[in-house]
Structure 1
Amino acid sequence: MDWGEVLAVAGPLFWVLAALSVYVGYLILYASFLLKREGRVEAGVLDRLEGLAQLAPLVGLLGTTWGMIQAFLALGGEGSPEGLAKGIAEALVNTGMGLLVAVVAYGGRVFLGGRR
């Protein structure tokens, strides 16, 4: 499976998580810049990282639920294994992306928070 296949089954909430991951990356880079230039990181930046670490798994869980609904609709409708597999894949991609964003955000928060 390549990235094209993953993106094909990702679903709409994946793109919300992708945007959150870009924002988390920006916050980590900004905090690193502040740490290097001023020797400290603003508490607000760390609070945002912490909030995103809590929000991302919830958005991923919402994507999981959406994917499972799609899977059960496919199973109930035409009963095709392809539709079922696509719904389950969408659920797992969103779960994984939500956890990835949360781990990076929380790791950045812990790493940069210890250097305040």
Structure 2
Amino acid sequence: MPIDKRDDGQLDRAFTALGDPVRRAMVARLSRGEATVNELAEPFPITKQAVSRHIQVLEAAGLITRSRDGQRRPCRLDPAALEALTSWIDTYRLATEAQYRRLDDVLDTLKEQQR
């Protein structure tokens, strides 16, 4: 089932956010558990300001959340947001697979007729 029209903006923001390799790497890192900005910045040769901007984009897209733990501000993936993306993709994947199954059936029928 296609995503609701009112969710299109959120979907656009999420896919746009994931279009950047640094942000995809951050999401991959967060899939292993929460991390601070400094921990997310470690593997990248970019400024902390650039890392913060990437985090803001991921947060605005609804893919991550940040909380306060004393002086720490850990980032976490939002599993519901990832599930929504997966669900949207699966809708079209399943429809496409059904079309290929129907095509396979037609081809099998044609092969049988040629025998």
Fold shared by both chains (TM-score > 0.5): no
**Which structure has the larger Rg over C-alpha atoms?**
2
TM-score (norm 1): 0.33
Between the two structures, name the one with larger relative contact order (CA 8 Å, sep ≥ 6).
1
Give the TM-score taking structure 2 as reference length. 0.33
Q: Please state which structure has a larger fraction of its residues in strand.
A: 2
Q: Which has the higher helix share?
A: 1
